Structure formats: C-alpha cells, structure tokens
Amino acid sequence: MEHRSEVVTDQSGRFGQGGMTGEPGGMSYGEQHNLDTELEKKALKRIAAEIGAIVAAEGHCAWVLAAPQPILKRLQEALPRPCREALADTVGADLTKEPIAKLEQRFVRG
C-alpha cells in the first residue's frame, strides 16, 4: 500500500499568482486533493485483484472474506465477479492480530 509520504512531501504546494514587476507577489495554495481517499481506493483495488487471483487459482471454491467493517463492503464490491459469486460469507472484523490457532478454529473446516 502506498503511503502518503511516498507520494507527496510535507510542504504544501504554493504557486505564485503573479503581479506586476517589482511588486511582491501573493502566494496561493495549490488545489486540495483527496489523496487519502485515492490511495485507499488504489489499495483496495490491488487487494481485491490479489484475492481474485488466489480464489481463481483455487478453482473458485466457496470462501469467506474477513476485513475491517469500514472497508468490507467496498472491498467486496471491488472483487472480480467470479470471486464475488464464490463468496460464501463475510466477516466484518479486523483479525490481523488474531492468533493463527483461533483463526483456524473459526474458519478451517474439514
């Protein structure tokens, strides 16, 4: 995932507004951009593509998507259609710090 610091500096863009020669020129700030939103969209697309490739490699068998609730719906919508169609369930939770044994108990069937 790209971080804001990899894309921009910590200084705002300023562009001169011009003025007559010899007069001090005013400075204006550059356009406001929704950089965080754009970076998140790109990251979600990359993650969805990777998930899609994994699900395709496994033959589009039923699977469960677990992701933090704030991004779950957007991530699900970004998945390739065959991947979404094979999706059996979703879990809105951040499980990144969950021990492997608990994840296996929760998700591994067999």
> How many structural domains compose the chain?
1
Q: Which domain holds residue 49?
A: 33-107
What was the pLDDT predicted at 105?
A: 92
Q: Is residue 19 part of a domain?
A: no
Residue 19: which residues within 8 A CB-CB, separation 6 or more?
25, 26
Instruction: Please report the pLDDT score of residue 59 as a whole number.
Output: 95
Instruction: From first to last of the 110 residues of the chain, give the pLDDT tens digit.
Output: 566 666 665 555 555 555 566 565 555 455 556 888 899 999 999 999 999 999 999 999 999 999 999 999 999 999 999 999 999 999 999 999 999 999 999 888 76
- Is 25 inside any structural domain? no
Cβ contacts of residue 92 below 8 Å, gap of 6+? 66, 67, 68, 69, 72
